[in-house]
Structure 1
Amino acid sequence: MSVKMNRKIKRALAFGAVAGAALGVLITFAAASKAVDKKAEAFAKTEKTLKKEKKALEEQVEKQKSIEAAATLSTKGTDDWELLLVNDNYPLDQKYEPELEEIAEGRSVDARIAEDTKKMLSDAKEAGLKMYVLSAYRNYEDQKTVFNETMGDWINQGSTYLDAYEETKKSVAIPGYSEHATGLAMDIVSEDYQDLDDKQADTKESKWLAENCYKYGFILRYPSDKSDITGIVYEPWHYRYVGKEAAKEIMEKNITLEEYLGVA
């Protein structure tokens, strides 16, 4: 073999060794990068899980605070019974049962507001209006039925169970979180138009209620521009008794019960 050929072979072998070493480095780097990526992915998942658990814990703490606050408010004193707050953050004890009095056939309210309620309905009738109390007191089981039926309607329209639940929450309180269980709330509509939609606000009956309800101790509980506070969409048919003094201030200031109580 010639010296020249010998040199070529040596250069080739040297190049191969360098290339092999470089390839080894690349493979090692790739493996290391993959391992780092896996660790990063695992860390991200762990971090996401921890954040989720932290959020759930914080929500649980806030819920407990709300429950305690609701309990405090409801037992604050007999003079404050009409200001009992019930919403997504302030649940009502399932055992709560007000003393009831019928104000229309098959419709009852807390006996303490019966006189004012009858007077409001009577005055509306004298004004030539046709009020219809679609719903008044509802106990826990009744509320569960209404919630499930409404959720079923959404599912029948093609919504998933989760979406149906979320949509139902916007217009129907979860059992245990409904004002109807207090005996202080009523759904009042026009006898000639009983659909629960925004058009209800255009009826003579709704317009009269919106203007005069405070005189009898009632407020429009879920105004059109306050759903971010109340958690419930606009309901021009849902009226809540809070007492004449509070009702006057709430309606004049265009605020909600939450805002009036300072818990918004």
Structure 2
Amino acid sequence: MDSEVLFHILQDLGLPEDYGEKRGLPFYEEAKILVKIGLNPYGKTIYLEPDTAKAWKKMKKAALDENIELLPLSGFRSIHTQAAIIRMKLEAGRTLDDIMTANAPPGYSQHHTGRALDICTPGFIVPEKAFDQTPAFQWLTIRAQEFGFIMSYPERNSEGFIYEPWHWYFVL
């Protein structure tokens, strides 16, 4: 994405151009090639970049073989979609400072890469801390790394985001 376009998107949200850099967040390019991995529990099609999709498929099957059902909640998210999510939260009356603890600014979300996946399980289909009490989360903490996934935002993470036990990033 053109840096001037990103500057205008950040400016429109009330964020300075250097917000990500000052906060120490890495910039993430948008994925160029995406594949469908299925639907989330709300019926929305989820996309990942091809290598991540393959790893997800293997991990999901391995979990299912152990009676753990992993469901995709959110995958690829464009810079424009990230901005729309933040705009919607602002319009709902949330403060920008509050939003920036749970959402990365446009250009700085791992979801842009197509390698980030928010994961849920039946009975826990919203991204909330309680997910860490599920057998699915316990399985992920033990096995996800075998498939190349790490939990990006553990408690007290250096990026300053809230604890996100549902957010996993493909690193291999």
Q: TM-score, normalised by structure 2?
A: 0.78
Distance in 1 between the 2:28 and 2:126 partners? Answer: 28
Q: Which residue of 1 aligns with 2:170?
A: 241
- Give the deviation of 1:139 after TM superposition: 0.9
Distance in 2 between the 1:98 and 1:191 partners? Answer: 31
Distance in 1 between the 2:143 and 2:66 partners? Answer: 12
Amino acid at match of 1:92: Y
Q: Which residue of 2 aligns with 1:78?
A: none
Please list every run of 5 or more consecutive structure 2 residues that lacks an aligned counterpart in the other structure: 1-15, 40-44
Q: Which residue of 1 aligns with 2:138?
A: 207
Question: Whose helix fraction is larger, Structure 1's or Structure 2's?
Answer: 1
Q: 1:202–1:152: structure 2 CA closer, same or farther, 3 Å change rule?
A: farther
Number of residue pairs the alignment of both structures matches? 151
3-state SS in 1 of match to 2:47: strand
- Give the deviation of 1:197 after TM superposition: 1.9
The higher-RCO structure (CA 8 Å, 6+ apart) is: 2
Per-residue CA distance 1:45-83 (angstroms, 9 max, x = gap): xxxxxxxxxxxxxx98xx59x59xxxxxxxxxxxxxxxx
Distance in 1 between the 2:102 and 2:78 partners? Answer: 17
Q: Which residue of 2 aligns with 1:91?
A: 27
Q: Which residue of 2 aligns with 1:230?
A: 159
Amino acid at match of 2:167: H
Q: Which residue of 1 aligns with 2:8?
A: none
Q: 1:230–1:102: structure 2 CA closer, same or farther, 3 Å change rule?
A: same
Selected match of 1:102 from 9, 14, 36: 36
Q: Which residue of 1 aligns with 2:60?
A: 121
Asked whether the 8 Å contact 1:185–1:241 carries over to 2, the reply is yes
Asked whether the 8 Å contact 2:71–2:121 carries over to 1, the reply is yes
Q: 1:139–1:233: structure 2 CA closer, same or farther, 3 Å change rule?
A: same
Distance in 2 between the 1:150 and 1:206 partners? Answer: 27
Per-residue CA distance 1:184-230 (angstroms, 9 max, x = gap): 1000011211232211100111111111110000001000132xx12
2:89 is equivalent to residue 150 of structure 1: yes
Moved over 6 A (4+): none
Selected match of 1:189 from 108, 115, 120: 120
> Which structure has the larger Rg over C-alpha atoms?
1
Distance in 2 between the 1:211 and 1:178 partners? Answer: 25
Q: TM-score, normalised by structure 1?
A: 0.52
Asked whether the 8 Å contact 1:171–1:232 carries over to 2, the reply is yes
Distance in 2 between the 1:222 and 1:124 partners? Answer: 22
